[in-house]
Structures are given as C-alpha cells and as structure tokens.
Chain A
C-alpha cells in the first residue's frame, strides 16, 4: 500500500524536476511511511511512498522489466500475483523480485494495455513505457484505491493518489468547485470525473488513462453487469450456495497473502462476522479483530461484537468513541477525505484504524461490499415496497410495509404514520425511471440547497437533471431488473464515492492501514450479479442467499438480528459546549460570511434551532461543518500541513 504521484509534460520538452515529484510524494507520506522512490526520464517523472506488505526487502519501487524499458509505481495489491507470475515465467519473462508489483510490469509487456484485465486486486497503477514515451494509469474495478489527475493547458498531466499531492507541487492551486459541492448535496458523492476541486479529475473505477505526445485517452475496461431480465443463474439454490461458498473462500485465501499479519474488523453485522469466522476456521486460529463502539447507545453495536468475539475466541481490541472524539477526529477526516460529507460516520473509523496501527497491524479484512452485491440495504427493500404499492396506490395496508423497514424512524411518531406515507408517495408511479429507487433520497438530500449561496443553488439545477449520471452510468441500466438497477446505482455512487473512499481508503490510509475486501473480489461480484433478485431480497428478507449459506456457522443472534445502519452522531458532536474550538470558530457568522459558500441568514436560522434540528437537517449540519473545514484545510491553511519524505529513498534517473 502506498501513495503514487507523477508529472508528464507530454507535449513539450520541459523536463520534470526531482523536487517537483518529491513535493508531491511528501504529502502522501501517511499512505506509505516506510520508504519512497522516484523515477525521472526527461519530461516525465513519477514517485511513490511505500507501506511494505509483500516482499518487505525486495519490493522497493520503481520497478522495471528485463531491459529497463518499462517502469512502474503502484498503490495497492495484486492478489493473484503468484499465479500471474507462473504464467508469465512460462511465457519467458524473468523476475528479479518476489513482489506483486513486478508481475504487473511483465503483464503489461505481454498483453499491452489489456494487462489490467488479468489482475485480481485493488490498485492505482502508473506505468512508464520508455520506448513509446507512453504513460498508462489504471484504477481497479470498483475504485478501492484512488487516483486523480489534472490536465494543464492540454500539454501536461499531473496525477496522484490524493489531490493534495497535486496541490503540493505548487503549479495548480486548490480551488473549491461549486458543481462538485452541489453534487454532494444531492447524491452524497461526486460523480467522476468531477471532484470537489476545480481542475482536478478523478479517474473513474474500472478505467485506464493512456497518455502520449498526441494527448490523453480514457477507456473503460470493466463495469458491473447484470443479466437482461430472465437470464439469471437457473441452478438450484443449494448449488448456487455451494459456488457462493467456494467463491468467498477463494477471495479470502487470496486476501490473506501478505508478509505481515492480517487482522479483521468485526462490526457486529453479518458480513464481517462471516469473514472473521471463515478466516479463524480455515486459516488463522490466532486471529486478531478490531471494533469501534459508541458511548451513545443509539449507535452502539458492542453487544453483537462481544457475542461474536465470545463465539470465535479472537484476540479482540475495541475503542469507544463519544461525540467529542468524533468532532475532534472529523477535523482530520475532512483533510484526508478531500470532500464534504453528509455524515460523521467516517470519524469513528479513523479512530479505529489508529487503534489498528497502535497494535502494529498494517492489514485488515472487512465486510464492505456485501450489502451492495447481495442486496442488504433498506433502500433496495424500500424501492421494492414502493413498486408493490404503486400497483394499488389506494391500498391502505401496502404502504404499512414501509414501517417494517424504518422502525427507528417511526418509533417516536407511531400515530403519524400516514404522513410518512406522503413522503414515500412522491413519484410513486414513476416505476419506469431507471433511477426510481434513489430519486426520493436525492430529492430529500437536495433540500439542503436552501442553505447555499445563490451561485451553488444555481448549479444545483444542472445537477438535478442527472446529466452527469447519465454519462457516468452504463446506458444498459434501463434494461436491468429493478433490484439490479438499485444495486448498480448504489455501488457506482455510494460505495465507490463514499464507502470505499471517504469512509474506507482515506480513513485507513490516514493511519497507514490497508483494508482488504473479500466481497469485492471481481469474481465474487460477477458471480453474485447473476443470482436472481428474489434470492437476494426474498420477500423483505435482505441478503437472503448469503444468510442461507452461512446460517450454520454464525450464532443465531447475529444471523437473525435486525440490520442497523452504521451511523455516528452529528448534532451532539458539532453543537455542544465541548465541540472543538476550531469547529466552533468555523460556524461563527464571520467565518460563514467570509468563506461565502452558504447563505448566512439561512444557516443562522438553522443553527439557532440547536439540538432541535430535525433528522432531515442534521446532514446539513455535517455538510456545513465539512465544507467549512475543506476550505480551512485547503484554501486557507494548505501550507501549514506537515509534509515529509521517508528517510529511505531511491532515485532513478534515466536522463
């Protein structure tokens, strides 16, 4: 695991200087504090900061092929490197290290840009082809590892694992992009290639970028695909379950490949419980596990975590966070996430990865992705209930099914059920729209636009027509089964843009910890995509096939528990006497007015409500604090951040 960065002046002879790349890499030290390496070849340069996990002594980067004509820096892991290496050696390639990195170089030599299709892993790769003067950037299929780029005057490209590295070089200054902000206040995420900063783009997951003297080209190589209606896996349930277990076992075994110990997160939910159980049973009887608990019991799942620890007998570590810890951590969270957010939920995970690091663990397995690919979220069931209701819109009992999905919303307002029906009735009959499942959520989130300045409000109108989405999504979404449409949207937006980044990669790498996600092995995804929707959400039973597969090895209290969305407190973190001084400062009238993203009068009316702010508007408070922090870190105080390079440095100069 690492951070990568580089510059290519592809239409000029202007040479790239070592210190330009060093400045970039110094801002990525948290991603790889162990060592760093650089390559300079006239008008091209790249570098990386490394967290050593495989081939600790021989895996230093940049690495090269036999005749030193192809060089690589890369962030991530190629889990099938042993098999790849065997195939490539059979084809006559010679290896000089035992690292997974070297397999990529030879794979590119053998297959050209198609090399990426042979990799099973999580990666952001930069390959420099010396003879062709060609740069290839590639990002893994679902976007577990980040990669950003800037095109300057159409003759230079800057790229890096995190946007801060592009700004650290000094040519491109951070400027917040109002369209990016308007997107987050609607979809919760940015739609690639848009980011929250002007002039910086995100390379979409499953894409490669090729750059030579002619310019740049961006091409997809993989996307989630679902069978057209009726084309699902027709085997008996028992056979499908057998393959499911095989696939998950393989994905876990591949992800245990490391030259350092691999631990696991245990959230108390089904998904991480399955992973930990399988690792403990099949691979490592001394498994170490980690979890986060909340002082506020509305959010806490420790009883489930304790149940699993007792069941498995793992070496368990837990950290407890309260509202104040969350607010404190949130200051760093925004620096690492590089975008505003509607939730504080990443903050406890930042505290958790610190606990992991403090226990000298670098790698953890987690359950991310199971909800997306096996159908675990309420929004999937909500959409199915609304479709069912839409066939008899006057039915009195059909909408009551919604209260089974949202008992936590209804618990204080049981006699107001009929009002909630009004909320869910919006657009009820528009079942032909491919985004049907998510339109209510986006519409509801976009109500926060009342707090914006007029300029951002104006951008919202463009966002609301979903043009960016239409370009980003596979046009085939129209032909997918309803559940698959919702899964596709949820995976491409929330999973990639928030769960794996703001709440995943950035929170773990902020403390130099690498996450690995067995459910997101692309072979598991491709297998799961073919499973019939009714085996995923069966009636209103979510992740049915997954639970059927593993009900015998998990305690009943875990397998049949009601699903609790992972959330963290917002109002008690940001609007209390104990709120950190910096956040208090950023919420004062002067700071709101000075930064200028919000309409001061509206924000003032909101904040005056204090603890009485409704559930609907608490996300506006998170968004407000995060936008203010983003400006503070990147516009006002960028130079104050402590950047440094690892002591162990390798410099290769091809000039």
Chain B
C-alpha cells in the first residue's frame, strides 16, 4: 500500500509538477480541486496505472472516488488486485 502511494506521488510530481516539490499536497487532496491535473491528465494517470499495476480500468470505474487523490487510487488499486 505504502509503496503504491509513494509510486503514484512520484509519478504525479515528475509528470504534472515537472519535478517541482514546492507544491504541497496530501494523500487526501483532490488532484482536480488542487489544480494538479486536468482531464487529459487523468487519462495519462489511467494509462500509468494500467501499465504499472497490470490492471484494466472499466469506463464505469472512471470516477473521482477511485482516482482523484493518492488515497483513492491506492484503495482502488488494492481492491482491483484482490
């Protein structure tokens, strides 16, 4: 779990904050409300998750409850893997 959170965080910082670590966001923060991602950004995140964790995300799973924060992604991934 902790691993997934760190991996996703690193990915977000590298790809959407362009390495800038001065933007603070917690595991709870909504990417959209924080302005870290836009909708094309979410599409990139989905591709990243599918490739990194060997899962397939269905259309009806594309909701903020599954994807719009580090915590939401981590629990979503763990549900999918089980």
A binds B: yes
B54 beta carbon closer than 8 Å to chain A: no
> Is A415 in contact with B35, judged by CB distance below 8 angstroms?
no
In the complex, what's the smallest C-beta–C-beta distance from B55 to chain A, in angstroms? 18
Residue of B nearest to A423 (CB): B32
List of A residues within 8 angstroms of B68 by Cβ:
419, 422
A534 beta carbon closer than 8 Å to chain B: no
> Known interface pairs A419-B64, A422-B30, A605-B14. Does A616 touch B38 (Cβ–Cβ under 8 Å)?
yes
Bits for A593-608, please: 1 = Cβ < 8 Å to B, else 0. 0000001011101100
> Is B59 in contact with A409, judged by CB distance below 8 angstroms?
no
Report the contact-size class of chain A (Cβ under 8 Å from the partner): 20 to 34
In the complex, what's the smallest C-beta–C-beta distance from A616 to chain B, in angstroms? 4
List of A residues within 8 angstroms of B43 by Cβ:
413, 416
A426 beta carbon closer than 8 Å to chain B: yes
> Is B38 in contact with A418, judged by CB distance below 8 angstroms?
no
Bits for B1-38, please: 1 = Cβ < 8 Å to A, else 0. 00000000000001101111011000000111111111
Residue of B nearest to A410 (CB): B39
> Is B18 in contact with A426, judged by CB distance below 8 angstroms?
no
> Is A413 in contact with B39, judged by CB distance below 8 angstroms?
yes
Q: In the complex the two chains form, what is the Cα distance from A603 to B19 in whole Å?
A: 10
In the complex, what's the smallest C-beta–C-beta distance from B54 to chain A, in angstroms? 22
Residue of A nearest to B59 (CB): A415
Complex interface residues of chain A between 406 and 426 (CB less than 8 A to chain B): 409-410, 412-413, 415-416, 418-423, 425-426
Bits for A278-301, please: 1 = Cβ < 8 Å to B, else 0. 000000000000000000000000
Residue of B nearest to A444 (CB): B35
A457 beta carbon closer than 8 Å to chain B: yes
List of A residues within 8 angstroms of B38 by Cβ:
423, 614-616
List of B residues within 8 angstroms of A425 by Cβ:
30, 32-33
Q: In the complex the two chains form, what is the Cα distance from A457 to B21 in whole Å?
A: 12
Bits for A445-466, please: 1 = Cβ < 8 Å to B, else 0. 0010111000001000000000
A443 beta carbon closer than 8 Å to chain B: yes
> Is A450 in contact with B20, judged by CB distance below 8 angstroms?
yes
Q: In the complex the two chains form, what is the Cα distance from A376 to B10 in whole Å?
A: 42
List of B residues within 8 angstroms of A605 by Cβ:
14-15, 18-19
Q: In the complex the two chains form, what is the Cα distance from A415 to B59 in whole Å?
A: 7
In the complex, what's the smallest C-beta–C-beta distance from B59 to chain A, in angstroms? 6
- With beta carbons under 8 angstroms apart, the residue of B18, B37, B39 that contacts A450 is B18
> Is A606 in contact with B18, judged by CB distance below 8 angstroms?
yes
In the complex, what's the smallest C-beta–C-beta distance from B66 to chain A, in angstroms? 10
In the complex, what's the smallest C-beta–C-beta distance from B28 to chain A, in angstroms? 13
In the complex, what's the smallest C-beta–C-beta distance from A579 to chain B, in angstroms? 21
In the complex, what's the smallest C-beta–C-beta distance from B33 to chain A, in angstroms? 5
> Known interface pairs A415-B59, A426-B33, A605-B18. Does A614 touch B64 (Cβ–Cβ under 8 Å)?
no
> Is A422 in contact with B20, judged by CB distance below 8 angstroms?
no
B82 beta carbon closer than 8 Å to chain A: no
Q: In the complex the two chains form, what is the Cα distance from A457 to B19 in whole Å?
A: 14
> Is A422 in contact with B33, judged by CB distance below 8 angstroms?
yes
> Is A615 in contact with B42, judged by CB distance below 8 angstroms?
no
Interface centre among A422, A423, A447, A603 (most CB of B within 10 A): A422
> Is A420 in contact with B39, judged by CB distance below 8 angstroms?
yes
Q: In the complex the two chains form, what is the Cα distance from A421 to B68 in whole Å?
A: 11
List of B residues within 8 angstroms of A410 by Cβ:
39
List of B residues within 8 angstroms of A457 by Cβ:
22
Q: In the complex the two chains form, what is the Cα distance from A418 to B36 in whole Å?
A: 16
Q: In the complex the two chains form, what is the Cα distance from A627 to B18 in whole Å?
A: 19
> Is A419 in contact with B39, judged by CB distance below 8 angstroms?
yes
Residues on A lying within 8 angstroms of B by beta carbon are 409-410, 412-413, 415-416, 418-423, 425-426, 443-444, 447, 449-451, 457, 599, 601-603, 605-606, 614-616
A/B interface sample: 18 pairs, CB < 8 A: A413-B39, A413-B42, A415-B59, A416-B39, A418-B63, A421-B64, A422-B33, A422-B68, A423-B38, A425-B32, A425-B33, A450-B19, A601-B18, A601-B19, A602-B18, A605-B14, A605-B18, A615-B40
Residues on B lying within 8 angstroms of A by beta carbon are 14-15, 17-20, 22-23, 30-43, 59, 62-64, 67-68
